[in-house]
Amino acid sequence: MTELALPAGSLQSALTAFKEGADAVYLGLKSFSARANATNFTFEDLAKLRQVALTEGKKIYVTVNTLIEESELDEAYKTLKHIDFIGCDGIIVQDLGLINLVKTYAPSLSLHASTQLAVHTITGVQELVRLGFERVVLARELTFQEVKRIRESCKDVELKVFIHGALCYSFSGLCTASEQLCGRSANRGSCAQICRNYFTVEHDSAVPSALSPIPQGVKDGWFFSMSDMKAGPVAKELEELGIESLKVEGRMKSPAYTGLAARYYRAVLDGDDSAEELDEALSVVFSRRQTSGWLASYGREKQDFTIRRAPTLGSTSYPGHRGIKAARITLVKSDSVMVTLLTDVALRDGLMYFIRSQRQPIDTIKFGINTLIDQRGRSITEAYEGESVAIPLPANAPRPHTGEFFYLISRHDQNPALISEALPLSKHPLDMTFTLEEGLLSIQCQYGEATYEIPTSEARKPQETESNIVSIFSQSDTSFLTLGSINLVNRTQLSLEQIFLPLSVLKTIRRDWYDLLDRTLAQELTKSLVREPIAEKLEMSTLPPRSLLLTEQKIPYLELKTLAHAQQPLASLLFNHEDHYYLPLSPIMFDEDAFFADLDKVVARMKEENLLDSVSFGLNNLGQIAYFRDHQLPCFFDIYLYLANSEAANLALTFGLKMEGGYLWMERKETDTEYWPFIPTVVDDAFSPPLFISRSCFRHDSLRLSCEGCPYRGSWYVKGDNQRYRVIVEDCITTVVNA
């Protein structure tokens, strides 16, 4: 059965998700979570939820899905040890450096690949399988047919597919907009959502007008804001395809959202007739403009030039929660409006309407319904679809116009009842040996041993000594540990049935014993990672300043299709530095058959031109590794195969590549290289990577231009907060760079 996985930004959200039908939840801890601003979980919260999951047959996935800096490896190691001790059903990671740490120090944890790894090809999934991943969360930019192709080719790994929630404009893991503009790294869980900002657009005068069209009347908008995904219509098809897990996005959202999303998709998967009603309720809790994303609303089955006739994927007219249409305005008075209801409403429901704004294209007025007046002038508490009612407007707010709409953005009763979080912990059972001697009780287990004085007098009636010990020591209060199996050794002169052990003394011993175990456990879980400094580094090439490996359009990679079909010598097209040539590969490779066919052609031409021995290839996606392992061509880890720490560098050496080095993760300008096997090349300050790399076509999804007669390329300038950027479309892929 396909698993339904819901987001849990808090313990309350997780409990609500389980209650409403989720099979699993995914959650982050207080550190190393890609949703750093969510409430997130303490280890105690995780232990509570783990016990609930074990009792109810549910699953928990813990996200450690950010890039880890060298100085944080010790904390990351301790975090993994804690998660491994408490237990979960999978750990979702982005940083390559965590792979060996998990395998070595937390081997019971199942490795799951985060969507932050931007894996969108068969070869990428296969490389993750080779690394030991048991599940891959595929990139959100895939169509149903592309998911199907991966499923059919990769049967030895579990796949997870997004079906609901926010879509990023850029490929997850490849976005640098937030870091560049706000100093908040999306790869560190602190995305500032630059894609939801408002921009103005203008022509690029350096290109023909046909390559920089702007529709009449369009000058500003939220051009990089994506619609939310709602893939309910294809959820059953994904289940039939054999996808192991369907994922709802939203760890920053409320328990109400989590609960309704769980109920809606549970109904969809179970064929329940309540799905339509639940769909509307979920949209009221939170929804931008909704489509089925690339999965089912892209208008293409693959990355080709099929004319897209489906609705665009953007949410460019307004980037926020808009709920559902609630009422059409029929008359505007000085302090109220008459409306015809399109859905049921009640007192304390939240409404919103749009107004023109001086600062940006539109703004919103939001207010709660505090009065409802029916056509007879009576005050009522609720009204129903089709009825006409009067609703007071907020004081001093701009007036809406006749014919416009109110939107329902919250219901007075949408928040679920709180679920008690006073829950038992999931405890780690320990096998213990109890040894009774005259006046003494000794206890031993893997975390320690202790001896206590205790009276061992002869009882007046037969005793259940072992049962008493089991009963008392099974009660470990707030400890993460508890009694497992017991081995009771009697070295007294009395039989067990004859020994009287005061229960009050046993309870006192129990408290001290578990205090001792807890201290020992804490010491064990907080031990630092032991590593040996590497004094003699591998000799690797010092790579060129990364700012030199840029096209005239400031794109930091070269397109193989262009190189494979170029008429001029390749030496004139490659990046050159100190008589050596560099070919950084694109991190995007949807049509991998065409990608590698073009790469074969380029390599063949390099041989013909006696150039191959002077070329190094930059790898920017895991899906490129197998080709270079098989062909043993000189290569380096480029800016999108992040080397954020020494563990990632160590893993890079295990790929079997003819590796010449790598760039340090481009968002950092220094690192402690004491434990690195080689010295990485720091990306120079002059280098500025693209803010966004997107499958969303700026021409079509942002400017709403038709695909009819499209040259599949274009160039524009956009401006936001006094900063100017260039938008480049090539083969329907959008790249946004600093102007």
Greatest Cα pair distance, the chain, in angstroms, is 105
Task: Map tokens 């038709």 to a residue.
Answer: 706
Are 349 and 395 contained in the same domain?
yes
- Tell me the C-alpha to C-alpha distance, in Å, between residue 664 and each of 54, 207, 650: 41, 35, 13
d(CA 727, CA 719): 10
Overall domain count for the chain? 4
Residue 34 has pLDDT above 80, yes or no: no
Please report the pLDDT score of residue 37 as a whole number.
67
d(CA 326, CA 71): 52
Among residues 224, 303, 119, which one has the least CA distance to residue 731? 303
Please report the pLDDT score of residue 682 as a whole number.
97
Are 25 and 157 contained in the same domain?
yes
Range of the domain at 496: 430-525
Q: Would 642 be classed as within a structural domain?
A: yes
Are 390 and 487 contained in the same domain?
no
Segment 495-509, tens digit of pLDDT: 999 999 999 999 999
Are 36 and 50 contained in the same domain?
yes
Strand 580-584: give its sheet, edge to edge. Answer: 575-577, 580-584, 615-619, 634-637, 658-662
Are 134 and 185 contained in the same domain?
no
Residues sharing a CB contact under 8 Å with residue 530, sequence separation 6 or more, in sequence order: none
- Tell me the C-alpha to C-alpha distance, in Å, between residue 494 and each of 364, 437, 459, 468: 83, 10, 10, 17
Are 31 and 61 contained in the same domain?
yes
Q: Would 238 be classed as within a structural domain?
A: yes
User: What is the domain-level CATH number for residue 355?
Assistant: 2.40.30.10
Are 109 and 181 contained in the same domain?
no
Beta strands in 52-182 (DSSP E): 59-64, 90-93, 111-113, 135-137, 158-165
Q: Could you tell me the two tokens for 499?
A: 């020994």
Q: Would 275 be classed as within a structural domain?
A: yes
Segment 375-404, tens digit of pLDDT: 999 999 999 999 999 999 999 999 999 999
Segment 145-197, tens digit of pLDDT: 999 999 999 999 999 999 999 999 999 999 999 999 999 999 998 899 999 99
Segment 314-326, tens digit of pLDDT: 999 999 999 999 9
Segment 587-642, tens digit of pLDDT: 999 999 999 999 999 999 999 999 999 999 999 999 999 999 999 999 999 999 99
Average pLDDT over residues 427-451: 97
Q: Would 390 be classed as within a structural domain?
A: yes
Average pLDDT over residues 564-572: 95
Are 237 and 284 contained in the same domain?
yes
d(CA 272, CA 94): 36
Q: Would 419 be classed as within a structural domain?
A: no
d(CA 607, CA 598): 14
- Tell me the C-alpha to C-alpha distance, in Å, between residue 95 and each of 31, 131, 555, 665: 14, 13, 24, 11
Q: What is the pTM of this model?
A: 0.94
Are 652 and 717 contained in the same domain?
yes
Please report the pLDDT score of residue 541 as a whole number.
87
Q: Would 666 be classed as within a structural domain?
A: yes
User: Taking a C-beta distance cutoff of 8 angstroms, is the pair 217, 206 a contact?
Assistant: no
Are 148 and 260 contained in the same domain?
yes
Residue 675 has pLDDT above 80, yes or no: yes
User: What is the domain-level CATH number for residue 126?
Assistant: 3.20.20.70
Residue 609 backbone phi and psi in degrees, to 5:
-95, 10
- Tell me the C-alpha to C-alpha distance, in Å, between residue 731 and each of 24, 206, 356, 707, 726: 38, 19, 36, 12, 16
Residue 201 has pLDDT above 70, yes or no: yes
Q: Would 86 be classed as within a structural domain?
A: yes
| 3-state percent helix, strand, coil for the chain, nearest multiple of 5 | 30, 25, 45
Average pLDDT over residues 650-675: 97
Domain boundary among 479, 499, 525: 525
Q: Would 316 be classed as within a structural domain?
A: no
Segment 117-130, tens digit of pLDDT: 999 999 999 999 99
Residue 166 backbone phi and psi in degrees, to 5:
-70, 145
Are 642 and 680 contained in the same domain?
yes
Please report the pLDDT score of residue 658 as a whole number.
97
Please report the pLDDT score of residue 567 as a whole number.
93
d(CA 59, CA 2): 13
Average pLDDT over residues 495-524: 96
Are 144 and 207 contained in the same domain?
no
